Structure 1
Amino acid sequence: MRFLNRVLFLFLLLLAACSSERDTFTNRAFHNLTSHYNAYYLADVKIEEVLDENRADYKEDYTQILPVFIPIDSGVIQANQEKLESSRELASKAIEWHRISKWVDDSYFLLGKIDYLQADFDDAKNTLKYVNVESKDRDLRHQALIGLLRIYVDLGEIENANFTIDYLSKEQKISEDNRFELYKTLAYYYEKRNDQNGVIGALDRAVEYSKNKKEASRIYFILAQRYQREGLDNLAYDFYKKTLEGNPPYERAFFAQLFAQQVAELNASKDLRKVRNYYEALYKDPKNKDLKDVVVYERALFEEKQGDLPLTVDLLHQAAKEPGSNPRLKGYIYQKLADIYLEEYSDYRATKYYLDSALTFIKETDPVAAQIADQKEVLDQYVFHVERIQSNDSLVRLSGLSEEEQRLIAEQFIKKEEERLLAEAREKEQPKSTSIFDNLLAFSDRGSGSTFYFDNAVAMQQGAIDFRRVWGNRPLQDNWRRSAAVFQTNSPTSPESQPDSLSSSEENPLSQLPDIESLLAQIPQSEEEIATLNEELEESYFELGKLLYFDLEEDEASIDNLEILVREYPTSSRKPEAYYLLYLAQKDRGGNFQQYVSRLNREFPESQYTFSVNNPDAASGNLAYLASSKNYEQAYDMYYAGQYRQARQLIQRTLEEYPLTRNTERLLLLDIMVTGKIESKDRFRGRLEAYIENSQDEQLVELARNMLKPLLSAEELAALNPVDSTALDSANQVLAEADSTAIKPDLSDSPFKLNENQTHIMVLVMNPEEAEQFQGVIGDLENFHAKNFSNARLRTGNMNMNRENAIFIISPFNNAEKAKEYYQKFMEDFESPNITDKIKGNAFFISIENFQTLNRTKNIEEYRAFFKVAY
């Protein structure tokens, strides 16, 4: 009984201690112990497991400066959601079940870390701020502030980051562990701001407080890299050597030794044999089996410094083929090849394809990828047009030959391809050298003197070609010589029927050699096909010339392409601009640019490019655009006021003073509209046709087409491309919107027709309730009319259009011009407390004929679409 009483007493004591409310010594001791080693400890372990997995999955790229912090991989976080949620649940229990323990604030800190890992930055910030404010543990508050600083840097909140740094700089008694994290986070702050000295200074301080030798090794490596970039080789060498302390991973140790040798000996050594022997030894070391690409790449960079570009290129090609553990390095190798071919050889085509290869190894999220994509944009266009010119030009030339000549050329092409395949086989037969750098293409064939057929690549290649020449492109199968067998020379053999040794097109010469019939089938036969090829050639010669001049600054090549354009395609609509580009290119070269001034004045006297070459000192840029916009508006007002000759004088003066701005084509079209008012119809038509052919603005071209249609005969209208046909548009409204980029709706099926000479009426649309209150507007309208249109004898009236809409009508206007004048004045000056902005904004004017159509269809929105375009 005495024993049972004691047990019962202890049980009651423990039960009392479980209370999370009673703040006694026993309660606190129990909850501190339980929350620490049950909930908090397990939650922290799970978080560290996720961070360890993130570190393990991250592949360090030692060829680039290492980041201060290993980035958080969202894929790893997503894969560990269950573990993180379990950690969150445990930390929450430590808070809820053990409220009087001293581990509550620490558990809140863990919740903040989980939110950060899951990219819930707002929650993370709020939680860490709470810990900083509420916790009495100085070390924990410092941890929270350092965590906040990292979040601010991540989000680019520099002011908050600066405030936090300033606050922490005034804190006392920061522990060594926290100092290490603080200086490391400061290095991250400077890294994001591209402050090299700041990163080095912060990491120098951080490494003093590091207790983890592997972490210290990584920091030493970063410092060494940064000192090397700054040209401080002595310091870099010391830190590379320090990197080897603390048993670092083999790959880091390899790069530390490699780069240490570079800064200490290789770059300064005059004994080139010694340097090359060093790289040779690294290459042969079996421990570096997965780092051979690095060795060859670094050797290539060394040879580049010696000025041996051919050897550098060969080594880079070899490095791309060598095995390696870091796929990104292949991307850097191809990027280096692209740089060499661009800067040293100006080979834009090779540069483009090397950059394509680089992007296959570099992730889209890598900043280098965006840089390559930007660089590639122009090169892609260059290669597209160059290859299209080569292809189309060959096809057009072949189309002009006889069938016998075409067949002979096809046979010669196939023969050259056979010779190329044999040459490739002979390259493979070259014997291996004892030095990997003497024989850059290390193939596994036996020597070329081998007598065994299947060891002799040349013999095998020749045999395959001879077989194809005699028997055709026959599939590999039994009884292939039977006369009854049916062979389809153009059909590919199924993969199942081919042995592994010939399964790839790279190894099988039969798959690489085309047959004569397939080559002949590519040659265009019809006039339509040849015309299409010529249209593409015309476009490519022009675009290539333009790109070479503006983007690649290759004046001579630009001139060559543009001269071909104007010579081979004399009726091209691109000819005025081509002349202008030739003028600029020859002027830059100090050549005969005056010939193009003469050609433009003779062939295109009213082109904007002619105005430009006649006024080479004319203003340009944004100020010229603003000034020309102002003049355009004045000319536009003169045109609609019937002051046609004054409008023309202002247009001509503006084109001479500001010949090439965004307003130029609008000014030219407005000048053509003046022609329609004061000159003959034939002259108006001729200028419209020339404008349509030469203008680049699709909207304005469409307007010009619609102005041209009333001048055409029924047969000419029928011949127009129906895709380009829309209801007749007036240039008035669109030309007035100088900066408008909106695409006009297709009104080809619209029931409304433009007739500017008809009587027009003004229409205000409202709902029936608004119509009942509209009577108050009539008095305001009468005052408006008396002040502005006293002689117009305008009348007002109203009617119900349908159940939803009532309309108020102001009439009559003799033509569209009078209606437009009233509409503009109404929109600008009419004010009434009894009319809403919506009613006023939806007002429109309409011809009597179109109003009859509208009254029949009741489709007000359909007419509004027509009105916005037509007027």
Structure 2
Amino acid sequence: MLIQSCSRKNDKFLNRKFHATATKYNVLYNGNIALQRGIEGVNNEYTENFWELLPIERMDVSEDIFLPGQTKNADFERAEEKAIKAIQVHGMNIGGKEKNPQIDEAYLLLGQARYFDQRFVPAMAAFNNILNKYPTSDKINQVKIWREKTNMRLDNNAGAIEKLKRLLEEEKEDIEGQDLADAAAALAQAYLNTKSNDSAIAQLTIAAENTKIKREKARYHFIKGQLYNQFGEKDSANVEFDAIIEMHRQVPRSFYINAHLEKSYNTDASNIDDIEFEEYLTELEENRENRPFLDKIYYRIAEYHRNKMSDSLAEVYYNKSLRKTTSDKYLKSLSYETLGNMYFDKNVYKTAGAYYDSTLTAMVKNTKPYRVIKKKRDNLDDVIYYEGIAQTNDSILKMVSLPKAEQLAIYTKFAEDQKLKEIEAKKEQEDALKRQKSQSSPITSVNNNQRSQGIGNPAGTTRDLQTLSGSKNNSTFYFYNTTTVAYGKSEFLKIWGDRKLQDNWRHSNQRADVTNTVKSDSLTDSSVEDLRFNPETYLASLPTKQTEIDSIAKERNFAYYQLGIIYKEKFKELELAKSKLEKLLSNNPEDRLILPSKYNLYRIYEELGLIRKADAIKTAIINEYPDSRYAEILLNPQSELSKDENSPEAIYTKLYQQFNDEEYASVITEAETQIKRLEGDNFVPKFEILKASAKGRLYGFEAYKEGINYIALTYVNTEEGKKAQEIIDNAFPVLAKKEFIADDTTEKFNVIFQFQNSLKEDIDGFIKILDEEVAKVKYFDLRTSKDVYDENTTFVVVHGLKSIGGAKGFAELLKTEEKDKRGRPIKPKITRPYFAISSPNYAIIQRHKNLNAYLKLE
């Protein structure tokens, strides 16, 4: 009977029953277990992002490409194998009909395994197979739902919507329970994919009402709440969040907590009882079950206090949130950015910059939010730099201006304070050492015999590591405590002496003179201590020469000017800009800063509505600087600076055109004139770059290097200064190479004709004749150019030759006599001396002006 029942070709009751039973309770049973295990794995790997609209289904779709036969998950592979085994081993296709009623479920398992393994096209084939071969299956509705879910994964959302709507209409009497919930949820996801969010809400309502799975119910309610928030319907959103809160421990804790937080954000601040609301937030904070979510709870409390203008409390809770945040990088970036904005608004830009740096580390690079913060942070570089200069130099100049007695009194008090701090620090170290000893295991004593043999441990360094690492809050782990580490180093030196980090370091011949080492260290410590606590040390560091003091004052004044411009232009902090520029003018700055400072103050006074001050400074500019461009602008406000032919923009554009025309000497002269005329203007670094480039073209690499180095040091925080530093770091190592390369390593060559500028030869006439001869050569793509070599020499160059021999041959061909129709010789047109050179070597002689060195090689 057993042998007969194994046959898949006999359409008998015993055969059908045997294969159906084996399929259901053996193969499919194990396959479904593997599928569920795989789904649990997918769920565990998925991290909910409650900051964005949640997806209906928990699954991250990877863009990795797998070859046929490869799989992402071993459990799904096993489920697929079991489904295939059921079809192949237990299928009873007799007379074109399947007699095993479990095979449709095998295909369903096959499709689901492939779906979760993100092989959507093969999954679609499995589902279509059921629809084509088993139209009367009791799983037909489930199969239709899974097929449309697969269609959505293949970006066929319109088709999925059409077929799911048809399914819900045609089978509205038969489809119910979990099938109805799944169909409605799938349709909702299709609507979300097509941005039809209002239609998705109705389907999510159906799904939430019909599903029996609490996790899914919570998800559907939460997504509905998020959608209502998008539409600004906070009351409706709160109803959805309340539905989640009422389920309490029946749903994942993350949904419960985030429902509370979302509801709290929707609460109208003007209509709440502050005490009651604070108690509500405190209860969330103190609930032990909420510990994994304290980062978000602390952030919510911080936001509450910030909205109440309690910045100090808000800062405390933002920092608490940061200390608790683990994997939620978005939350971390929000906390850092908010703290940065708070310090930015308080004009504490150095601290704000540090918080923005931390924000960037927690953000995804090359996204729009990242670029916004990056730009804001970059703008702070200049502020931090110049504020540091201004504060430091102000302090130095203030000390220098005081009588020596007052200087000595100030530094004496400072030295005494430093000494007291040192005493307190030593006392804290001793106390920490005592606590460390009381928490450590007994110290192992080491006898002299052991020490002489180099096998003992330094006294005080043997510790019970388990004890040391036991208490995180007390920082008892040895290497976490700087005091005990310092003590261990000291004990090591006493016992072993000063030893190098090398093999066999414990051998006696490696031992240094401990006495001398200790004496030397003691002398050094004593010297350091005397200097640190001696006020004369600080007095001696003050500048005394008037040139040094003037240099410090000049640097401070320029810093104030830059700060005034930055606060005005970049941050629109007009009050700050006003105070910086007014302070600058009170410091008797150099002439180059006075006029632009007064003009910028005029603009600031106008914007602040300080009409009298604006009129007064306007009159002063017109009377004291009548020939300046600022006076011209003030006298004729209708003319725009950018359209004025004397504006920096117009002059720079004209000079740049001259640079392209190779009028390098004129560019250098005019650029120097404009740099002096526009001192303090933002356009000066641009003229410096143009001047350096022109000098490089005319005088060579060393002149260019000098100019670029000057820009990088002088305009360190401008775009031009940063670009100059990039050139120094990246381009200079390449440009500095002056060794000529072999001709057989390149494929481009030139013929060079040399002209002396002092002879005033007709270069353009020569080029015209040369162009006529070059046009006759059809087998090469030749062209000519006129290149400046230096202030005395100009090259006429033929480009496009393929070998050094070919270049020389072409030049000789130009010398060949031509004859007229009667056979009479015509005088050669091109008889001028020449030399041939490869394109890379030509670039080298232009860059380093080492033509003579190249000609000697020939």
| TM-score where L is the length of structure 1 | 0.56
Q: Structure 1 residues 561 and 151, CA, compared in 2 at 3 Å: closer, same or farther?
A: farther
Aligned to 1:853: 836
Aligned to 1:788: none
Give the Cα–Cα distance (whole angstroms) in 2 for the partners of residues 724 and 315 of structure 1.
48
Indicate conservation of the 8 Å contact 2:340/2:353, yes or no.
yes
Does 1:552 pair with 2:549?
Answer: no
* Alignment match of 2:385 (pick from 384, 388, 410): 388
Aligned to 1:482: none
Indicate conservation of the 8 Å contact 2:83/2:107, yes or no.
yes
Give the Cα–Cα distance (whole angstroms) in 1 for the partners of residues 319 and 5 of structure 2.
78
Indicate conservation of the 8 Å contact 1:297/1:316, yes or no.
yes
Give the Cα–Cα distance (whole angstroms) in 2 for the partners of residues 406 and 564 of structure 1.
24
Aligned to 1:486: none
One-letter amino acid of the structure 2 residue matched with residue 143 of structure 1:
I
Give the Cα–Cα distance (whole angstroms) in 2 for the partners of residues 408 and 129 of structure 1.
93
Offset at residue 670 of structure 1 (A): 3.3
Offset at residue 557 of structure 1 (A): 2.9
Aligned to 2:655: 668
Q: State the Cα RMSD in Å.
A: 6.7
* Alignment match of 2:250 (pick from 225, 247, 250): 247
Aligned to 2:224: 223
Aligned to 2:672: 689
Does 1:55 pair with 2:43?
Answer: yes
Give the Cα–Cα distance (whole angstroms) in 1 for the partners of residues 232 and 569 of structure 2.
36
1:384 partner SS:
helix
Give the Cα–Cα distance (whole angstroms) in 2 for the partners of residues 575 and 121 of structure 1.
72
Identity across the alignment (%): 17
Indicate conservation of the 8 Å contact 1:762/1:809, yes or no.
no
Give the Cα–Cα distance (whole angstroms) in 1 for the partners of residues 286 and 276 of structure 2.
15
Indicate conservation of the 8 Å contact 2:379/2:570, yes or no.
no
One-letter amino acid of the structure 2 residue matched with residue 151 of structure 1:
R
Indicate conservation of the 8 Å contact 2:294/2:324, yes or no.
yes
Give the Cα–Cα distance (whole angstroms) in 2 for the partners of residues 143 and 869 of structure 1.
74
Aligned to 1:204: 205
1:317-357 superposed Cα distances (whole Å, 9 cap, x missing partner): 555567999786565444444455556x4554444444555
One-letter amino acid of the structure 2 residue matched with residue 181 of structure 1:
D
1:144-164 superposed Cα distances (whole Å, 9 cap, x missing partner): 443234425xxxx5xx42343
Give the Cα–Cα distance (whole angstroms) in 2 for the partners of residues 658 and 114 of structure 1.
74
The range that moved more, 141-150 or 684-693, is 684-693
Give the Cα–Cα distance (whole angstroms) in 1 for the partners of residues 75 and 560 of structure 2.
61
Give the Cα–Cα distance (whole angstroms) in 2 for the partners of residues 257 and 705 of structure 1.
68
Q: Structure 1 residues 113 and 691, CA, compared in 2 at 3 Å: closer, same or farther?
A: farther
The range that moved more, 140-149 or 582-591, is 582-591
1:393-422 superposed Cα distances (whole Å, 9 cap, x missing partner): 566568887899999877755766788x89
Aligned to 2:694: 704
Offset at residue 848 of structure 1 (A): 5.7
2:43 partner SS:
helix
- Aligned 1:1-16 pairs, distance under 5 A: 7=1, 10-12=2-4, 14=6, 16=7
Offset at residue 216 of structure 1 (A): 0.8
Offset at residue 41 of structure 1 (A): 4.8
1:248-283 superposed Cα distances (whole Å, 9 cap, x missing partner): 23454455567668878997444x444444445555
1:746-783 superposed Cα distances (whole Å, 9 cap, x missing partner): 498498798585545459999xxx98x859x99xx9xx
Give the Cα–Cα distance (whole angstroms) in 1 for the partners of residues 84 and 687 of structure 2.
64
One-letter amino acid of the structure 2 residue matched with residue 687 of structure 1:
E
Indicate conservation of the 8 Å contact 2:208/2:220, yes or no.
yes
Q: Structure 1 residues 319 and 689, CA, compared in 2 at 3 Å: closer, same or farther?
A: closer
One-letter amino acid of the structure 1 residue matched with residue 653 of structure 2:
R
Give the Cα–Cα distance (whole angstroms) in 2 for the partners of residues 267 and 807 of structure 1.
91
Indicate conservation of the 8 Å contact 1:386/1:540, yes or no.
no
Aligned to 1:173: 171
Q: Structure 1 residues 669 and 320, CA, compared in 2 at 3 Å: closer, same or farther?
A: closer
Aligned to 1:147: 149
Task: Please list every run of 5 or more consecutive structure 2 residues that lacks an aligned counterpart in the other structure.
Answer: 433-439, 444-457, 469-474, 487-524, 677-683, 710-726, 741-751, 784-797, 816-829, 850-858
Offset at residue 84 of structure 1 (A): 3.6
Indicate conservation of the 8 Å contact 1:765/1:807, yes or no.
no
Q: Structure 1 residues 144 and 185, CA, compared in 2 at 3 Å: closer, same or farther?
A: closer
- Aligned 1:412-811 pairs, distance under 5 A: 463-464=427-428, 547-558=566-577, 585=604, 588-589=607-608, 591=614, 594=618, 656=644, 665-670=652-657, 686-690=669-673, 694=684, 696=686, 700-706=690-696, 709=699, 721=705, 746=735, 749=738, 755=755, 759-760=766-767, 761-762=770-771, 774=779, 801=803
One-letter amino acid of the structure 1 residue matched with residue 571 of structure 2:
L
One-letter amino acid of the structure 1 residue matched with residue 386 of structure 2:
I
1:579-636 superposed Cα distances (whole Å, 9 cap, x missing partner): 986676565446468589869987986xxx999889865689xxxxxxxxxxxxxxxx
Give the Cα–Cα distance (whole angstroms) in 2 for the partners of residues 351 and 659 of structure 1.
36
1:625-683 superposed Cα distances (whole Å, 9 cap, x missing partner): xxxxxxxxxxxxxxxxxxxxxxxxxxxxx95389687x873323336899979xxx8x7
Give the Cα–Cα distance (whole angstroms) in 1 for the partners of residues 90 and 809 of structure 2.
75
Offset at residue 222 of structure 1 (A): 3.8
Aligned to 2:499: none
Q: Structure 1 residues 747 and 353, CA, compared in 2 at 3 Å: closer, same or farther?
A: closer
Give the Cα–Cα distance (whole angstroms) in 2 for the partners of residues 114 and 753 of structure 1.
76
One-letter amino acid of the structure 1 residue matched with residue 654 of structure 2:
L
1:165 partner SS:
helix
One-letter amino acid of the structure 2 residue matched with residue 557 of structure 1:
L
Give the Cα–Cα distance (whole angstroms) in 1 for the partners of residues 671 and 44 of structure 2.
70
Offset at residue 687 of structure 1 (A): 0.9
| TM-score where L is the length of structure 2 | 0.57
Indicate conservation of the 8 Å contact 1:58/1:70, yes or no.
yes
One-letter amino acid of the structure 2 residue matched with residue 696 of structure 1:
K
Offset at residue 215 of structure 1 (A): 1.7
Task: Please list every run of 5 or more consecutive structure 1 residues that lacks an aligned counterpart in the other structure.
Answer: 1-6, 423-458, 469-475, 479-492, 621-653, 711-716, 726-740, 782-795, 814-845
Indicate conservation of the 8 Å contact 1:293/1:319, yes or no.
yes
1:433-488 superposed Cα distances (whole Å, 9 cap, x missing partner): xxxxxxxxxxxxxxxxxxxxxxxxxx9769449999xxxxxxx9x9xxxxxxxxxx
Q: Structure 1 residues 280 and 207, CA, compared in 2 at 3 Å: closer, same or farther?
A: closer
- Aligned 1:237-316 pairs, distance under 5 A: 237-243=238-244, 244-245=246-247, 247-250=250-253, 252-253=255-256, 256=259, 268-270=271-273, 272-290=274-292, 297-304=299-306, 306=308, 308-316=310-318
Q: Structure 1 residues 529 and 105, CA, compared in 2 at 3 Å: closer, same or farther?
A: farther
Q: Structure 1 residues 242 and 702, CA, compared in 2 at 3 Å: closer, same or farther?
A: same
One-letter amino acid of the structure 1 residue matched with residue 672 of structure 2:
E
One-letter amino acid of the structure 1 residue matched with residue 74 of structure 2:
E
Offset at residue 217 of structure 1 (A): 2.6
- Aligned 1:810-829 pairs, distance under 5 A: none
Aligned to 2:75: 83
Give the Cα–Cα distance (whole angstroms) in 1 for the partners of residues 51 and 419 of structure 2.
42
One-letter amino acid of the structure 2 residue matched with residue 207 of structure 1:
A
Offset at residue 381 of structure 1 (A): 2.8
Aligned to 2:370: 373
Give the Cα–Cα distance (whole angstroms) in 1 for the partners of residues 128 and 626 of structure 2.
77
Indicate conservation of the 8 Å contact 1:407/1:516, yes or no.
no
Q: Structure 1 residues 274 and 506, CA, compared in 2 at 3 Å: closer, same or farther?
A: farther
Indicate conservation of the 8 Å contact 1:538/1:565, yes or no.
yes
